[in-house]
Chain A
């Protein structure tokens, strides 16, 4: 069942060969248009937005697309559609801070035992109904009942005890102190009208109105003339095209069939850097996925903190940036949340030090350490990082074998995925307190690193109940210090999710999710 010891798989080689051949052919054919290399553009808009036109954007979709808004996480194209048809209460802005969308304010009481949520005035759904607090309560209940991905985040809200103070104000008591509701509401919860029964045809309040949708082909949306927002929508029409393969999406862009191609591989990004006809779009740095590996601290040999530390010293992070992120990324420091508010910037950067690693292993009585890392081609960077790690670890006297599982199996069985002792990781960033609640402590939903115990639980509780910025800062500083010293997360690099677009495309904002950005303010220059 394992492919132990094989450092480069046949599939990786084939994929690399395909990339090289496509890249080389592309370079040969495009010599005429590619002039000098130009810098990668950021996702923010520049200039004055222009009204009108139809933008065509290609995203990953397929036969498993769904119109059910509560299951929008099925495929990126579903999510992108939902993000323009509906609105969220809050979103995470480019600076990593919460921005209000349909919510006018979301305020906790002093100890996080209750929240007051006030919705914006003058917002209407496309069927003419006005947005009220009842819609928000219905939405939260729907997501809770649907057992959607968001439901564990909502579990602390005492929905049965919720009270409508007035038409626009909702009082939400908490089952236990939870100061994170403003962050939780940024996690893809789309507001739908009270009493909705058919979740596949729900009127939204968003900037665009769905006019046509065919599973596996795409969707056509038109501007919502009555949109409440101060900005946008600018386009007359937005067409979302479903193309599963990254190379095909890029080809469609280069041939002028679409204006925006989502999720372009780093390999393709490198090849297209000099192509003056397209712009590469990089999201804000905090949104860059974290590349690394996870060690289960509750299983031998990682129960000894020195073994976990030794592994951190065996990683040459700069080499990871150069070889795995192809120069697009940046060094990370075994913590999530870099560039987010309250990230512990002051902790020392773990350096590459194989001798120190050897020392630590000798002290722990774990010389000649041999490990097997579970990895997969499920996403770029998993296998690639594991291969480089295996090479680097040799210098510290550690043998790392690869257990490469089929892409479709990587997380298919939660027991295996969560229980793995040592595996590759590519973690999408989200607000820091939510990451802490998800991954650490005895209540953790996904205890990948198995870090638990009264000390950890105490720190996690403090993060959960922190309501002021100062409480968040101090609780997050404490837990990050612990994670940096004793945690089982090995985070060696962050690298962007790239998109490519025609230079005319402006105003596409990732707002927390670079694989399914918001087209709310998009326009064609």
Chain B
């Protein structure tokens, strides 16, 4: 299975391929920008349609209507919706995300800390998800129908069918409350950074991992089963190629590509959608910020969080597709 293209053809193909690739990336980035614009418009419309606004919500249920009106004027909420959206958009294009309607803090400050935390949580989870799901999937796939395969299927499927709050709660009670090995809540002191207390990542990461691993491992397993049944593997085995080489050369390369888009999806999902884990462990991430900001009708903060999640989704999917092309030589060929 070595590349046997004549040299000249290969160079031409590579050149054309690179050009196509750049055009593809550029097109995707442009459409990504349009997606972000659409997201911001939808978010703006949706927050506008919700009951009340930042002024009435932040002052609470027993506020003076005059105080609400004054706060509304202070925040500029008495201006027409289009003017507010336009003003916000202009600010964003100049790199100014505005200030939180509720706390008055610059949104960029709020966002940086939270987005960083979320990226770390999602990144670590996916970084562990890859070897764990590959290992389990290959191990089970090579023993398809056997006891190991059935045990892996049973365990991963049972785990994935448990809601995250159940796995998380059990993990907390066991590992934090009873055994005192890990912190029960993933909170940082006022002067601390994530790097000062990396152990706070363990329980949220494990909880998220448990929720994602089954799907991935089963996809890998399916790939492995399909490849193992193919001629290439059979021929290699008949030729006496050692089993570990069979797995590394033939099985893995075929099993990985279908998993990449899924991993990309998980990564973007985990950046903004780890709400249960963030709530359960008090982890200061984007999802809880988005929920709190929505509840407070804090439009600039909601926008910033939603756009970050959308941007990460666009970028990660693009990256996933590029990675897919890189690991799958067939897709590098001009169509």
Chain A positions within 8 Å of B, measured between CB atoms, are: 18, 21-22, 25-26, 29-30, 58, 62-66, 68, 71, 73-74, 147-149, 151-152, 212-220, 239, 241-245, 247-249, 251-252, 254-257, 405, 407-414, 416-417, 438, 445-446
Contacts and interface: CB of A to CB of B under 8 A. Distances in A.
B279 A248 contact: yes
Interface string B98-133: 001011110001100110000000000000000000
B113 to A, nearest CB: 7
Nearest to A216: B284
B183 A412 contact: no
Contacts of A21: 166, 169
A250 to B, nearest CB: 9
B103 A64 contact: yes
Nearest to B74: A147
Given A63-B292, A152-B64, A248-B282, A147 B187 contact: no
B292 A244 contact: yes
A255 B176 contact: yes
Given A216-B284, A407-B295, A151 B64 contact: yes
A123 to B, nearest CB: 27
B277 to A, nearest CB: 11
B190 A220 contact: yes
19 contacts: A63-B292, A64-B58, A64-B298, A74-B58, A147-B71, A149-B59, A151-B67, A215-B105, A217-B189, A218-B189, A248-B184, A249-B282, A252-B184, A255-B176, A255-B183, A412-B51, A414-B63, A414-B65, A417-B61
A215 B103 contact: yes
B40 to A, nearest CB: 19
A408 B67 contact: no
B247 interface: no
Contacts of A239: 189-190
Interface of B: 50-53, 56-68, 70-71, 100, 102-105, 109-110, 113-114, 165-166, 169-170, 172-174, 176-178, 180, 183-185, 187-192, 279-282, 284, 288-289, 292-298, 301
Contacts of A410: 61
A248 B281 contact: yes
Contacts of B297: 412
A18 B65 CA distance: 38
A30 B179 CA distance: 11
Contact of B184 (A148, A215, A254): A254
Given A244-B279, A251-B184, A411-B61, A217 B284 contact: yes
A66 B104 contact: yes
Contacts of A241: 187, 189
A418 to B, nearest CB: 8
A152 B282 contact: no
Greatest chain A CB density within 10 A among B62, B67, B165, B293 is at B62
Contact of A214 (B52, B173, B190, B296): B190
Given A152-B66, A244-B292, A254-B184, A412 B56 contact: yes
Nearest to A33: B178
Given A242-B187, A248-B279, A412-B50, 7 more contacts: A26-B173, A149-B62, A218-B187, A245-B279, A408-B57, A408-B295, A410-B61
Nearest to A416: B51
Contacts of A212: 190-191
Contacts of A147: 64, 66-67, 70-71
